[in-house]
Amino acid sequence: MRLPEPVIIPRDQHPISRKQISRAALNVLYGLHDAGFEAFLVGGCLRDLLTGIQPKDFDVVTNATPEEIERTFRRARIIGRRFRLVHVRFGPEVIEVATFRALGEADESDDDRRHSHDGQILRDNVYGSIEEDALRRDFTVNALYYNIADFALYDFAGSMDDIKARRLRLMGDPATRYREDPVRMIRAVRFAAKLDFDIDPATEAPLYELAPLMGQVPPARLFDEMLKLFLSGQAQDTLKLLQEYGLFDALFPATAEVMTDSDQRLLEAAMRNTDRRLAQDKPVTPAFLFAVLLWPALRARQAMHLDNGMAPAVALNKAAGQVIAEQVSQIAIPRRFSSVVREIWDLQPRLPRRHGNRAGQLVTHPRFRAAYDFLLLREEAGEIAPGVGQWWTDYQEADEDAREDMVRALGKAAPSSGGEGSGRKRRRRRRRGGGGSGGAG
């Protein structure tokens, strides 16, 4: 493989200044430099700075080995199994430092680089040069380097042009790179949504066909990527793109199979809601997201059990267990979240039942607020008739006396109005065939 020559952009020809780089990152860069190593910032932080976004973190790469990095700093720790990295701590900040990695031709005899039969990389811990390190990065916009020795940018792949054009282009041959690591497909969607970049046609084309490869990614890895996907602040666009490319089907097969129009509206409303909450710095729990994303599958499964004569509560409980069990073979959901998912679901049929002292008890349930938010979304989506949500909104704002009046007033209306129901017309979501440029974004 021919190694790329970098285009070196000197300090006076690019806008990145040391003032924009965190103190801790500068300490690490200078620490390595003073110890005689090469040290560069790389990846997302440079892309973000050049796009006018405040980077979440600064990643450093060096020609020092993990052991050498560890010896250079007082508070450093080697971590990672898939990739060995060093975490260097300065105050509250942790800087991730990696050794340049190579990714050449697969070599059967090389114990440190293993490919599975379908071309996926299982482990890659072969140290290399900066040129090799650049080649194994995912997108050109993530393959730019900032040298602390002379403050120059090193551009191996037209990264600067792509950042300026707001264009996501995979390094190398797109289909090969997706096969090596299918997670790159959802990273393409994540960056397109988060940065409002376009996916270059050659990088976009294989997505439709290769989306099912997502099914082969270890579930544990997908949970983290999932959170990054939906908590980027651009969950709405993300959902649209995932569905357009068929990635949603691969990530949430049980839901994708049964999606109705109201389910689609529910998911969209939930994503809009998530983006709004993040924009307001309000907390967002992954459990709520999973409760939404798996709700269509849950309803379908519950309906099946009901058809078989099971009691509603039993059917819900059984369906919940099954839907979660199936989903975790795709995306690992830590138990601390899946138990909350089940509580949110479990409360749905209980929220309309407000007689006697039930309302007073429900409102103190630790998941009441999440379940209530969820109910509002279902009403907004038209899955159930509106009414109960507004009642609960009023109830939470009412004082003790007014609350008693509200519960008493219920007695006159039909008991437990607005429960489960409305027709469950289903349509199979149409699948996209190959080709065709999607107009999402």
Provide, rounded to whole angstroms, the least separation between the CB of residue 347 and Mg ion.
Answer: 36
Residue from the set 14, 31, 100, 138 that interacts with ligand ATP by CB under 6 A: 138
**Residue nearest to Mg ion according to CB distances in the complex:** 44
Of 212 and 321, the one with the shorter C-beta distance to ligand ATP is: 212
Catalytic residue flag (residue 237): no
Catalytic residue flag (residue 112): no
Site string for ligand ATP, 154-193 (x = CB under 6 A): ---------------------------x-xx---------
Cα–Cα nearest to 264, from 226, 296, 306, 307 = 296
**Residue nearest to ligand ATP according to CB distances in the complex:** 44
Site string for Mg ion, 25-44 (x = CB under 5 A): -------------------x
Partner that binds at residue 410, options ligand ATP, Mg ion, none, CB closer than 5 to 8 Å by kind:
none
Does 101 bind ligand ATP (CB under 6 A)? Our answer is: no
* Residue 107, number of CB atoms within 10 A of its CB: 12
Structure-block tokens of residue 393? 């909104």
Tell me how far apart the alpha carbons of residues 289 and 203 are, in angstroms, rounded to a whole number.
Answer: 28
How many residues touch ligand ATP under the rule CB under 6 A: the total is 11
Site string for ligand ATP, 59-98 (x = CB under 6 A): x---------------------------------------
Of 44 and 174, the one with the shorter C-beta distance to Mg ion is: 44
DSSP conformation class of 181? -
Backbone angles phi, psi at 180, to 5 degrees: -60, -45
Tell me how far apart the alpha carbons of residues 129 and 309 are, in angstroms, rounded to a whole number.
Answer: 65
Q: Which of 57, 198, 261, 346 is catalytic?
A: 57
Provide, rounded to whole angstroms, the least separation between the CB of residue 46 and ligand ATP.
Answer: 9
Evaluate whether 287 touches 370 at the Cβ level (below 8 Å).
Answer: yes
Catalytic residue flag (residue 198): no
Does 55 bind Mg ion (CB under 5 A)? Our answer is: no
> How many angstroms separate the most distant Cα atoms in the chain?
82
Q: Looking at this protein, which amino acid is placed at residue 218?
A: P
Evaluate whether 34 touches 178 at the Cβ level (below 8 Å).
Answer: no
* Residue 378, number of CB atoms within 10 A of its CB: 24
Evaluate whether 375 touches 348 at the Cβ level (below 8 Å).
Answer: yes
Tell me how far apart the alpha carbons of residues 29 and 46 are, in angstroms, rounded to a whole number.
Answer: 14
Partner that binds at residue 157, options ligand ATP, Mg ion, none, CB closer than 5 to 8 Å by kind:
none
Q: 């942790």: which residue's tokens?
A: 94
Helix or strand or coil: residue 345?
A: helix
Does 383 bind ligand ATP (CB under 6 A)? Our answer is: no
Evaluate whether 60 touches 97 at the Cβ level (below 8 Å).
Answer: yes
Partner that binds at residue 138, options ligand ATP, Mg ion, none, CB closer than 5 to 8 Å by kind:
ligand ATP
Residue from the set 72, 140, 142, 147 that interacts with ligand ATP by CB under 6 A: 142
Q: Which of 48, 133, 138, 200 is catalytic?
A: 138
Residue from the set 21, 28, 32, 43 that interacts with ligand ATP by CB under 6 A: 43
Q: What is the DSSP pairing of strand 59-62 with strand 93-99?
A: parallel
Residues that bind ligand ATP (CB under 6 A): 43-44, 56, 59, 137-138, 142-143, 181, 183-184
Residues involved in catalysis: 57, 59, 138
